[in-house]
Structure 1
Amino acid sequence: MKQLIAEEGDGDEEDNADKDFYTQDFWAEDEEDVDFADADDEAAHDSFDSDFGDSTESDSDNDDEEKGASKEKTTKKKSVYKDPKAKAAREEGSSSAAPSAPKPKVSHKKRPRSEAAALADGTPFAPRGSMRASTKDASLVANEKRKLEDEVAQRRRMDQEKRRASKPGVELRRLTQEEILEEAKHTEVINRASLERMLRQEEEKRKVVVRDRSNLGPRIKYVSKREGDSVVNTITFVECNVPSSIDDIAPPYPVPQRCAVTGLAAKYYDPGTGSPYANLEAFRMLRGRTGRRSSYSNLQSAAAEAEAAPADLS
């Protein structure tokens, strides 16, 4: 029984020791952890200020000084393992002594938040009092330029209005239906004349035959043209010799034959007698000389044959 009580007492001591181990300050979280707060503030400041490049040199110097002061003030906690048994022994020894005064809690001042962090949280903050001189100058120049452009545009607009007012206005009158039809008639006449002229020009172009021929080598060129009441014929020999026959004299015309009976110009030739004759009566007389007697019908047929076959007087 004593052994069980002793073992139970040992178990209680171990539980107390574990409780003391996990309740010591090593595992406690400090609500005002300066290191953690500074790290968050610096990260937020860096991430926000990377998008804005308007911070001045004086602001960066102030930030550097604040960071240096905060680093000097804050001290990192050292992780030290404490034996719970030794702590229990010290507590038993100190229980007999007078209770010690409570340990004063160290107060850590919070680092003032930067403007970048305030902007990230959406909280309002007072604007900086200083501004770059170059930014001010650029703003002034831009404002002056804008004013000058506005004045020039206003002056140009006024000039246009004056010129528009000085020009005489043109009155536009809407044509009636009769006037439109009358104008259409004139337009039709003009269009027809234009069409006829165009067709005539096309016909003239169609008549003109463009011949691109290269006349090379010996050739004879013959030209016939009219000069007054006469006609002039010209023969030109190009790059060739003139033939000898060109200089010959034409033979005389043959003497025209006369009718053997009447003495008139013979128009026909009788193959039976070999004599030319002028008319039917002369033919009958020629056939009568030969002693051939024939009926009237035979004479008519013979005359018809003679008329159908005229004599060759050449």
Structure 2
Amino acid sequence: MASTATFGTSLAAVGRGLRPWRPRGRLALHAVIATASFVSYILARLLDGDAATGFLAIGVGACGWAWLVARALFDPSERDVEWAPIVAGVVAVTGAISVLAPHGMLGRVTDNAYAISGSAALLLTFVEPFLRWRPDLPAVEKRFRYGFTGIYASLVAASVLGLWTGSDGPHAQMRDDLIKGGCALIGLIAMWVAVRFRQLHPHTATAPSRRAATSEDVILAPRLMRLLVDEDLAARPELKIAEVAVLLRQPEYRVSQCISTVLGFANFNRWINHHRIARAKILLADPAERRSILEIAFACGFASLGPFNRAFRDETGMTPRGYRAASRSETSSR
């Protein structure tokens, strides 16, 4: 119950912090696919006949897609490991075949395969919040993980284990559809709350490095900052840490450690984007600057408008357009 209350608190905080959001990355992709599967499962519980069968064939894969969402919520990697989508695909395909062709040898084989793979996906979803658990995680991240597990466990218990009284009688199927459809709807809402939470609290922001700076890190920091200015690194689109390491004649890991310990940024991308956005803020606030936002993005080292908008919003909490309007309005009112 405490975990459920905590998750509810996170929901309220998310509601207060709403701002324009555009889905991106593997988390958004899996969330969209899972949404389609959950909605199909809900519709299957509301309809009858062939329509219900068709929607159920899509909806039975929801547990596999939900697991991929959980992986993306708690795994900071930009891409899935190769086997993860395969497992989710097996769940979806075997589940669909078992619904559409339930009789005969094929039906029995796919039904067993679906039971095994679906159960594995359910269990793996429980594990995901704690695979990368560390004692130094921020309190809000710990509460989020406890809340996620508590909500998920409650829904699985109600939907899969059948924690309700009475399973016989003329109204048993209606009761079963109502409970399972309701659990699916609550799960869908909770999933998007979790996605929103992660968008507001990125992995890099919730896992700060606690490693102490070494003397090598301290010596390297001013060299790195001089290189930033002398080579105008921030203006280089698609700049990689490997290029900076070569220029400094240092291993990549040492440059990364310097950035996280001495300079205080979660990673290289956060560091370089911080300086790009600092330049963009000056240009956007200048009333004499007539270039478009896209042109300013290019001038500040971004290869396209989308990454610029996302990085700017993450850094300032505003869109570049909103920042330009607010800054120039303030200047004109003085």
TM norm structure 1: 0.19
Kindly indicate which of the two structures has a greater share of residues assigned to strand.
1
Q: Which has the larger radius of gyration?
A: 1
Kindly indicate which of the two structures has a greater share of residues assigned to helix.
2
